[in-house]
Amino acid sequence: MGSSEIKNFGILGNPVGHSMSPRIYRAAFDAAGFPNYNYIPLPVHAGKLYFAVEGLKGLNFRGANVTIPHKSTIMKFLDAVDADAMIIGAVNTVVNDGGILTGYNTDVYGFLAALHEANFLIEDSNAVILGAGGAARAILWGLCKRRAESVIIGARNEQKADALAKDFLNYGHVEGFDWYSYDFHEMMKTADIVINTTPLGMYPEVDDMPPVDLSLLPEGALVYDIIYNPAETKLLRTARELGYPTLDGLSMLLLQGRESYRLYTDELPDLEVMKAALESGLHIK
């Protein structure tokens, strides 16, 4: 279904020049017959976020994506926040319905949908998360929501990993460890899935990876890296060479984008169009 109506969308963050979102959404809007749907990068300094949010109302933006460093701070300026976003403590999508701004977190949807497409069943699995930052929270909630048997968080900062685990104790069996510790190494031996949520290995630092011994994993364990640039990180390449199945971050990025698009338009986009736009932007062949 096409439309000649003018609607504006954007992405709030600082910086936003590197974001693939404008490229992806513009391609999806054009393919769906929305030539007057505009998607605009909106660089916003932290101290000006309130005014930017009010600007979404004043300029009648239909919606906006939200990225670093505003995903948590923006929540206090919104009229409503979805249950998933409230638990995660972060918003990545804002929808404007007649001046009422509602925040959502589609990262958890993208994470779960990508695993579903990979035919991985989370229920009753033993999961290991690498990293204890903001990205880990959506992943952790997704695992708890789908009733993983246990979730182990490994990070260089054990206190941070433990604090994150305690935030989710009411939702499942979650523990935090120093990823150099003996206990963490033992937990790796029973993991069904390992998910990297750290930026280690992201372009341009492509020779980095979390300091974990993947050979400890049992046969068939899935190694999942939510980084999408490069699509195959050093972590995934190492896992593949050891014979483990792998999953890159492109699927999660596209599927969370699909869910944001649905929230904006009440329609589903052409995912292949979005994928082609992303890959051309990343120069993936």
Residue 116 identity (one-letter amino acid): H
Strands (E) in 132-257, as ranges, are 150-155, 174-178, 193-196, 222-225, 246-247
Task: Tell me which DSSP letter residue 139 carries.
Answer: H
Q: Which long-range contacts (CB under 8 A, 24 or more apart) does 213-220 make?
A: 213/185, 213/188, 214/238, 214/239, 214/242, 214/244, 215/242, 216/185, 216/188, 216/189, 217/188, 217/189, 217/191, 217/244, 218/189, 218/190, 218/191, 218/192, 219/243, 220/244, 220/245
Dmax over CA atoms of the chain, in Å, equals: 61
Neighbours of 169 (CB within 10 A): 11
Give the active site residues.
Answer: 71
